[in-house]
Amino acid sequence: MHPVRKQRLWVVLSIVLFSSAAVGLAAYALRGNINLFYPPVEVAAGKAPVDTPIRVGGMVVEGSVQRSDSTLETRFAVTDYQATVTVVYEGILPDLFAEGEGVVASGRLNADGVLNAEEVLAKHDENYMPPEVAEALKNSATAGVSQ
């Protein structure tokens, strides 16, 4: 092989090798920060991973909000009208949090199917619905019609 071609081959192989290593390291670093969305029906079906950061969204079930008398813990249920997931959150809820309104809760699902939320997001105006929640409710309504 001609020495110039051999040198080019090593340069190309080096670029491919270091690029692959960089992509692999970036994917490894991001794996702990991936936070996937699951509607309540998928959580109830067991498709959501346990003890892994996930987001669950839907509507807060009317009459399900229970606040602790001594702590900031709040327990409520989120539904997509096909299934319900219990969410436990300790902290100050957003001002717009209310029963019958859309929310997205981020946290870890335990073995009992309860989401221990680290963050609760509520809608910020009357017309806004988080895209994941809107799609989950739309899919739920479509599945409900076909059953």
Residue pLDDT, tens place only, 12-58 = 999 999 999 999 999 888 877 778 899 999 999 999 899 888 999 98
The pTM assigned to this predicted structure is 0.68
Which pLDDT does position 10 carry in this prediction?
96
Residue 2 counted as an annotated binding residue: no
Listed residue (76, 79, 78) closest to 64, CA to CA: 76
Which pLDDT does position 35 carry in this prediction?
80
Domain boundaries 37-122, corresponding CATH code: 2.40.50.140
Which pLDDT does position 92 carry in this prediction?
92
- 62-69 mean pLDDT: 93
Which pLDDT does position 12 carry in this prediction?
96
Residue 124 counted as an annotated binding residue: yes
Q: Which residue has the higher pLDDT, 131 or 40?
A: 40
SS3 content of the chain, % helix, strand, coil (to 5): 35, 30, 35
Is the distance from CB of 103 to CB of 39 less than 8 angstroms?
no
The band of 145, judged by pLDDT with boundaries at 50, 70 and 90, is: low
66-105 pLDDT, tens digit per residue, is: 999 999 999 999 998 999 999 999 999 998 898 988 899 9
Domain range list for the chain:
1-33, 37-122
pLDDT score of 127 more than 70: no
Q: Which residue has the higher pLDDT, 127 or 28?
A: 28
Burial of 120 (0-12, 13-18, 19+ CB in 10 A): buried
Q: Quick check: helix, strand or coil at residue 60?
A: strand
Which pLDDT does position 138 carry in this prediction?
83
